[in-house]
Amino acid sequence: MGNEMRILAKDSADRYIFTDVVDASEESIAMLKKLAGEDINTDTEHLDITNLDAIRDIVKHENVEAIVNCAAYTNVDAAETAGDIVETLNATAPENLAKVMKEVNGLLVHVSTDYVFGGATYNTPCKEDQKGTPTGIYGLTKLHGEQKIQATGCNYVILRTAWLYSEFGKNFVKTMLNLTSTKPQLKVVFDQVGTPTYALDLAYAIMSIIEDYKKEWNAKPEIWNYSKNGIYHFSNEGVCSWYDFAKMIAEIADNKDCNIQPCHSEEFPSPVKRPFFSVLDKTKVKYTFVFAIPYWSESLKMCMNKILF
């Protein structure tokens, strides 16, 4: 998500400070320069978001009015045995950011996940007020993060998203591109259903929310509460299984020699039970912020064109 925000920030009238992307791969940096221009600044500020005073210092020094938090411990399987670090990164760190934004009356935009659901059987898209039923440590700690942000009383927008992919880093699209071009046969689960989300589309949504926040800020006195504080769902439009997702990736890439077969989740044992149905209802975000959301396969084509060409 950080690289996608950089691309959009390049043409923004606002000043953006990026932190905690110092481990970006050479591949990601090369792709970023290709998409956003060779002159883009890829340097970052070092910030330990588990340190409340460090956050206060940078917010005060740089006069920060809004924070977008894309940081998290996201290795779902490893989270089961990783210990306290998962709660620290997914719950305590967002709480720290929220506390500081409360102190300066700023906005925290926080990226959360569909993994807050999964422990109950759903057959209709999940709504924001639906009870969280996480099945693993990752989902539980992300839910704790949401709750801790809300408890601070800061201005906040929490965006739950799902099946995130992009040109950058490791993700399902890049993995499937490699496997379908090198393997004669592949099995992909068909009993987990959701919606792929192009990270650039999520970045556009975040920028739209910040612009809306700025308009309301300019029309209000110094101390106020953002009228659109809350939890929202964002993914691309449509529904598919991981099998359907893989088939579409292979089709767009013209990888015809790989025989992709559907299989059950039980054929790939995991420490964590993944949500079988985590389609997110996006009615609230669309009507609150009034922006269109692309269909998942159209965004997939856009992303893959950038990867392949």
pLDDT at 23: 44
Cβ–Cβ < 8 Å for 300, 196: yes
Active site residue 138: yes
From the first residue on, what is the mean pLDDT of each consecutive set of 10 residues in the chain (309 residues)?
74 81 46 48 74 96 94 95 97 98 96 92 90 95 98 98 94 97 97 96 95 87 83 98 98 96 94 91 96 96 94
CA atoms within 13 A on the CB side of 68: 24
Residue 230 CB burial class (10 angstroms; 0-12, 13-18, ≥19) = middle
pLDDT at 24: 44
pLDDT at 176: 98
Separation between Cα atoms, residue 272 and residue 211, nearest integer Å: 38
pLDDT at 218: 82
Separation between Cα atoms, residue 87 and residue 85, nearest integer Å: 6
User: What domains, with CATH codes, occur in the chain?
Assistant: 2-170+195-238+277-299 (3.40.50.720)
Strand partners for 119: none
**Distant-in-sequence, close-in-space partners of 86: CB < 8 Å, separation ≥ 6:** 73, 79, 137, 138, 141
Question: What Cα–Cα distance (Å) separates residue 104 from each residue in 65, 145, 228, 292?
Answer: 7, 20, 18, 32
The string of pLDDT tens digits covering residues 32-78 is 445 445 455 445 678 999 999 999 999 999 999 999 999 999 999 99
Cβ–Cβ < 8 Å for 146, 232: no
Read off the DSSP letter of residue 153: T
Separation between Cα atoms, residue 35 and residue 39, nearest integer Å: 11
Cβ–Cβ < 8 Å for 26, 224: no
pLDDT at 22: 41
Q: Which of 73, 115, 138, 243 is catalytic?
A: 138
